[in-house]
Chain A
């Protein structure tokens, strides 16, 4: 590209010089210069032949070198007479050209050290690459082995590889559409017989099926947006949409609690990022002010400015303060990229996510303000693989922006489109929610009941265990004395008595009251006990936080597998690619996802399992 450009400039200049040189030739001048005869008509070939014919080598050399020089001087003289300004201008061009070419070369090899071929060979010989990946550590191996393997269909209850039936609390299928879905399956079989499995091409090249277009229309209608576009994988949605709009010159203000996909999307866009504290509106306002100051210092046109946040945060279960964000975004003139992947299908009166939660139909008034609110959000992302049981994700926005994505959304342009079966499944799920009296609405109500029931029970765990924790030191001593094997640790608990005042109970429950995603952490006190029991790095003589993140992960994993094997409940410890997450990575937790399909009995069983497992872990029953 660059060389082409250079060559073009060179050609243009040469053309200019030669062209004008010849143009200015007037016969009178031509006559007076006897040297002119040599080259005037035929140019360089003649001069070369003249060189060969020349009497001595020296003479011919002079002629060859002298030729362009004379040409140049003659040209200057000729054109100077007519237009001195032009000569000057052209000279400037030549100087610029020389400078331009040399500058590029200099920059490329600026830091290079000159080496001989032999030295390079030696260096190549010497160089020892590290292995591409480090081997798995002990903890990583344990975690990898502990990941449950499901045999058979998805649903509220699933069968594990070893044949156990377990209650599933790790499924994003909030509405329970995936269990007992005979109808959906029949439809899927029908779709298969019509469309096959893969579409065998990206959407641009005959990969757009009619079912995809229907799904897009349905999604747009459901969210009250102008248009929608579907991506074939959930992760690809965020990764494509953010870089599609925010480029190197963009400015992004993002919540520090956004999930990994958005973090990567932001990184990929190479925009300037400012983080604000998770869901902290005051801090957001501060950051916006400083960002605006930063922007006012930049020369050039106003950059594109975005606020990036999630609706329902996957990693914490909290719900964004949307009205405040909309207000701030208007005040500071930002655009909003809202990723409501986790919230859509769970929040609001008709499951349209966080927008529905704030602006949807409330009891008493029959007014649904989702469509108007959606217009306020410039770019709305959602997923089809979570609540809707299909695969992929979508983006809702104004028509022009969707059109832009069809050419510039990398995950759309360069990837095969979604299998028809998945599109039809997702589309059906949306229909079930959209119908006013459909079973989707029923499921939503059930889901809300289940969420509050689950939370209530979880709170009770703490009440039940408060007593034992408050008097923890003594009780623990008693237990220790019973069990001589671990008596050496008892001294620690007395050192850390101040813990017991700080937190009561054994678990911390994270997230909004209406969130179906509930993260359960252990209190520091409890975690300390657990780490010690597992014989992790729980050093005896260190300070308060004396366990590492790996220990915590191990504890959570242990808990999850205990809950799974003993109590037949599938709850996952939340895993992250820690080294690639933004600092600090979300803390390890048990991620419980409540579904409308769960019965009261199952919820009780789940909570009991959690309580008992924790108690077992820290008390070594």
Chain B
């Protein structure tokens, strides 16, 4: 049983990393939002599996929160924003897809090499989880760096946060309060970012953050 449980949790966490990679090469916002929803679903599956094998019922709450907010409410809301702003047909590429993917692979290798060595005496499940979680966080950051559109940066931030939740659930004994507060903070961040998006749009007729630099006199 233990071997199977480990394999399933391993593959779910690995799936999360894989979906992070999928996000890296989405150049349309609508498809990016779909992949992000998939990302959240993978996360909630993974957390639910952890709840089952760790026999920790409060993790089901975390999984439910992830599913509800991240897989449904936030993508739907972002999609509405994207349509309202009229940027659903925009294509944005800052760095080419090939180099980005290569960099992502490097990051995953780095986090695996590091985490497996640092956590040598932790149990196998936690080690794998931490290594994958760090990969997801790094990929989320990479995603944010390679995008220019404010909406995609929000998505990158949310996927980074998914990695944090994965790390938190891998560690046994993380209190529920912490998870709820993390989820809540993400919601607040979403609201604030949503408002900021509209403000940026109002002023610059675009959500391309490079427009902000023009306004600061950095670039003409």
Q: Do A and B bind each other?
A: no
